[in-house]
Amino acid sequence: MSELMPFEPVDYLVIGHVAHDLTPEGPRLGGTAAYSALTARAFGLRVGIVTASGMETSLEPLNSVRIVSIDSPNSTTYENIYTSHGRVQSLRARASNINLQRVPQNWRDAPLIHLGPIADEMESDLPDGFSPSLLGITPQGWMRQWDSEGRVSAREWKDPEIALSRADAVVLSREDVNGDDILVEHLAQQTKILVLTEGAAGAVLYWHGDRRRFRAPDVPEVDATGAGDIFATAFFIRLWKTRDPWEATRFATLLASRSVLRVGLEGIPTPQEIEECKMEVLQ
């Protein structure tokens, strides 16, 4: 396990695999851990990552955050092909599981903890001893399965009840639930706040038995990779600061819509974009 100043306190802790994404232009760093960590860093927060990755993946883009990386023979490697019918995703390799007991002791009370699995790499329930002010979950990695050829498809999240009951907010995508609105309603009834992201259509917030849609601005999409992770991180941070789910959803929708104008990690928001979206929400 390699460590970069892991015992300095952090404000935002994200746990999950980074991804080695295969693209026509060559491999690039991805995954919820990478996108969320860099987004939180853009907000000016002290950020930590607990992940697992192989030697083939450079973590240099994350040199502004603190990393605990569990040694692994390979990184979790995805190949995404976008078609007129949606994304075709294949898992080419998978990194080692993440044992949540490997989280440094003084990171366990970070104000924001984000569980962001991408390949069913950890348990969905925090062990005793973790005490965040806000626990956010993006459960996509527990809602994926892959066949013998690595082709990824949606599956049912196994035993989600404890995680949902303890989470302060859950963000998932329509792709994660395979478009099943009944499932979304069922999950929303078991947790405090749930947001369903719908790509260019925006997002739907479920809170206190209410359901409200937030439309995204109409923008020319260049690359949607990571937009959902940017949305989730922005939502968790704004919710933590304001305790207003409506404002947090509108803000995250605006900020994520800007990310699709750029490719890959270049879509990470800038501090200026963050401030501009705050001002637009408050108008």
Domains and CATH numbers, the chain: 2-282 (3.40.1190.20)
pTM over 0.75: yes
Predicted confidence (pLDDT) at residue 49 exceeds the cutoff of 50: yes
pLDDT > 90 fraction of the chain, expressed in percent and rounded: 90
Rounded CA separation 173/226 (Å): 12
Look at residue 91 in the predicted model and tell me its pLDDT: 97
pLDDT (0 to 100) of residue 5:
47
What confidence score (pLDDT) does residue 80 get? 81
Instruction: Tell me how far apart the alpha carbons of residues 63 and 48 are, in angstroms, rounded to a whole number.
Output: 11
Q: pLDDT confidence of 44, banded at 50, 70, 90?
A: very high
Distance CA 160, CA 80 (A): 27
pLDDT at position 1 over 80: no
Question: What is residue 4's predicted lDDT score, i.e. its pLDDT?
Answer: 42
pLDDT in tens, 241-282: 999 999 999 999 999 999 999 999 999 999 999 999 999 998
Separation CA 81–CA 24 (nearest Å): 9
Token pair recorded at residue 52: 């697992």
pLDDT at 7: 74
227-246 pLDDT, tens per residue? 999 999 999 999 999 999 99
Q: Which of 230, 247, 254, 241 is nearest to 41 (CA)?
A: 230
